[in-house]
């Protein structure tokens, strides 16, 4: 992801898809210096590269020593040096990778997406999960349901206001329901011990089989796999859907632990599966239903070795 670092202080700032740099409290990259204008410059991702534009600042913006005119923009490659107003505000683009989803909290804390999923207020206590659906649009998911969100939208988490910084996408029209066939092209094979104390999960990919390290969330994935198998007579768009409340009751877990399991499962699967986070585990808007997004599911007794 894009990362700017101050040469003097070492302060590093992750870049959302569009960032206003300046002294104003509303700026995503706030610089509390009198040499910097309220909205000094803009930095954004465009056509596979980072760009910067001077917003008519009083003391100017320099890129690798060249002063930009008001409204002039320039490309930033890895290692580019940007000065906002004065040498004390010299910043280097140390990572020129594309933007990832970010959220900034009321205290200035920044949380970045992991494995394509942004969890707030933290990955260890995810009450809200933000990720892209298969059509490219962004959604926020809570235990109460799923709703569309966009770059720059505010999001309330535990009464605190977070600001979303989401990479822009070409397709922004979201389906109102995930009633399509599973989009993720992978298979899952569960080996389950007789007492169900041990679950062995293997991914079946085009490149071969991958045995995943045992994790607590595999119990959730197994429950979703069994729901998929139980619906053998259903057409693919309707197969495998079950209610999150029922799974929480069956697994004796609360909503927070359930959300942690969903987050960790998406994160682990997306390390190996080339698919949007929303497709490996799918949720229907408003209904509270969830299912595993694998079109091939097998559950067999685990043979002792």
3-state helix/strand/coil string of 129-192: EEEECCCCCEEEEECCEEEEECCCCEEEECCEEEEEECCCCCCCCCCCCCCCCCCCCCEEEEEE
Residue 140 near residue 155, CB atoms below 8 Å = yes
| Residue 259 covered by a domain | yes
11 and 82 in a single domain? The answer is yes
The position carrying tokens 């235990």 is 143
The position carrying tokens 């969903």 is 262
| Residue 216 covered by a domain | yes
Residue 139 belongs to what domain range? 102-165
Q: Name the domain boundary from 96, 123, 149.
A: 96
What is the C-alpha separation between 304 and 210, in angstroms, rounded?
Answer: 19
**Number of domains the chain contains:** 3
| Residue 176 covered by a domain | no
For the full predicted model, state whether its pTM sits above 0.75.
no
Name residues whose C-beta falls within 8 Å of residue 175's C-beta, 6 or more positions apart in sequence.
Answer: 133, 135
Return the pLDDT at 285: 64
| Residue 43 covered by a domain | yes
Return the pLDDT at 169: 53
For every one of its 305 residues, what pLDDT tens digit does the chain have, with 9 covering 90 and above?
789 999 999 998 888 888 999 999 888 899 999 999 999 999 999 988 999 999 999 999 999 999 999 999 999 999 999 999 999 999 999 999 988 888 988 887 888 887 778 889 988 888 888 988 767 788 888 766 678 898 889 999 999 999 898 886 543 333 333 344 455 678 999 999 998 889 999 999 988 999 999 999 999 999 999 999 999 889 888 999 999 999 999 999 998 889 889 888 988 888 888 766 778 888 876 688 999 999 899 999 987 66
CA angle 109, 101, 130 (to 5 degrees): 95
What is the C-alpha separation between 151 and 163, in angstroms, rounded?
Answer: 9
| Residue 178 covered by a domain | no
Return the pLDDT at 184: 66
Q: What is the CATH number of the domain that holds 84?
A: 2.60.200.20
Q: Name the domain boundary from 76, 96, 116.
A: 96
Return the pLDDT at 303: 75
| Residue 60 covered by a domain | yes
201 and 297 in a single domain? The answer is yes
140 and 212 in a single domain? The answer is no
């Amino acid at each position: 992801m894009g990362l700017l670092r101050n040469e003097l202080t070492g302060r590093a700032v992750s870049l959302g898809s569009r960032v206003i740099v300046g002294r104003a409290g509303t700026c995503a990259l706030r610089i509390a210096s009198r040499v910097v204008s309220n909205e000094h410059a803009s930095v954004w991702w465009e056509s596979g590269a980072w760009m910067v534009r001077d917003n008519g600042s009083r003391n100017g913006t320099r890129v690798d020593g060249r002063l930009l005119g008001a409204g002039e923009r320039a490309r930033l490659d890895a290692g580019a040096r940007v000065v906002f107003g004065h040498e004390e505000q010299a910043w280097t683009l140390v990572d020129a990778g594309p933007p990832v989803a970010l959220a900034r909290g009321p205290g200035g804390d920044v949380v970045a997406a992991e494995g394509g999923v942004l969890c707030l207020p933290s990955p260890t206590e995810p009450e809200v999960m933000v990720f892209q659906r298969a059509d490219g649009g962004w959604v926020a998911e809570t235990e109460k349901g799923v709703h569309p969100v966009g770059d720059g939208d505010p999001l309330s988490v535990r009464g605190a206001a977070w600001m979303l910084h989401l990479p822009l996408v070409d397709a922004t029209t979201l389906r109102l329901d995930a009633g399509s066939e599973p989009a993720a092209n992978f298979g899952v094979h569960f080996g389950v011990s007789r007492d169900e104390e041990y679950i062995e999960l293997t991914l079946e990919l085009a490149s071969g089989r991958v045995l995943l390290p045992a994790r607590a969330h595999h119990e959730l994935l197994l429950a979703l796999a069994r729901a998929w198998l139980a619906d053998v007579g259903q057409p693919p768009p309707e197969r495998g859907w079950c209610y999150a409340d029922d799974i929480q009751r069956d697994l004796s877990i609360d909503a927070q632990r359930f959300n942690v399991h969903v987050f960790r499962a998406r994160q682990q699967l997306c390390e190996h599966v080339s698919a949007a986070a929303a497709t490996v585990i799918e949720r229907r808007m408003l209904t509270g239903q969830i299912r595993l997004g694998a079109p091939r599911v097998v559950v067999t007794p685990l043979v002792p070795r």
